[in-house]
Amino acid sequence: MSIQTLGFTTQYTVNTVTSIKPTPSGSVNGQKYDASVKLRSSMIELKNDETLGLVEKEVNIEFNIPCDDKNLRDFNMWLRKKQKDNTPITITAGLPFAGDSKSILVTKSYLTGEEMMAEDKK
């Protein structure tokens, strides 16, 4: 799928990263995949239930961030430093949709890992 008109974007601020999964390009069952980093975060909402007391509702989101193979290590380390330093990460992406597991919302970054690192230097 190719986006012809970028009429809007959504900007996410990821305050807490729960998982960082770098994946080099390759193919599975003949399907080619570009290199990317999958970054996950979750939001927990506490609700007061009359019967149970406080109940947690968890929403998980996965950001797929494209990156060239040659820069995958640097981008992975850049994200891990942000995670270690508790520095928020800004991601510009589309609206999330239910992924294959249905328990995790998924969206793809409009910026590559290289572009995100370059923006951070400004």
Domain that holds residue 113: 10-117
In 3D space, the residue among 103, 102, 120 whose CA is nearest the CA of residue 111 turns out to be 120
Q: Which amino acid is at 60?
A: N
Residue 18 covered by a domain: yes
Phi, psi of 84 (to 5 degrees): -65, -40
Residue 2 covered by a domain: no
Give the domain CATH number at 44: 2.40.50
Residue 104, SS3 per DSSP: strand
In 3D space, the residue among 60, 66, 14, 11 whose CA is nearest the CA of residue 38 turns out to be 66
Residue 96 covered by a domain: yes
Question: Considering its fold, how many domains does the chain have in total?
Answer: 1
Residue 49 covered by a domain: yes
Please classify residue 110 by burial: count the beta carbons closer than 10 Å to its beta carbon, then call 0-12 exposed, 13-18 middle and 19+ buried.
middle
Residue 37 covered by a domain: yes
- pLDDT for position 11: 94
- pLDDT for position 122: 72
**Which residues of the chain are modeled with pLDDT < 50?**
1
First to last CA, the chain: 31
- Contact present, 75 and 61 (Cβ < 8 Å): no
DSSP classification of residue 31? E
> Can you name the residues that pair with 66 across neighbouring β-strands?
36
Residue 100 covered by a domain: yes
Residue 44 covered by a domain: yes
Residue 122 covered by a domain: no
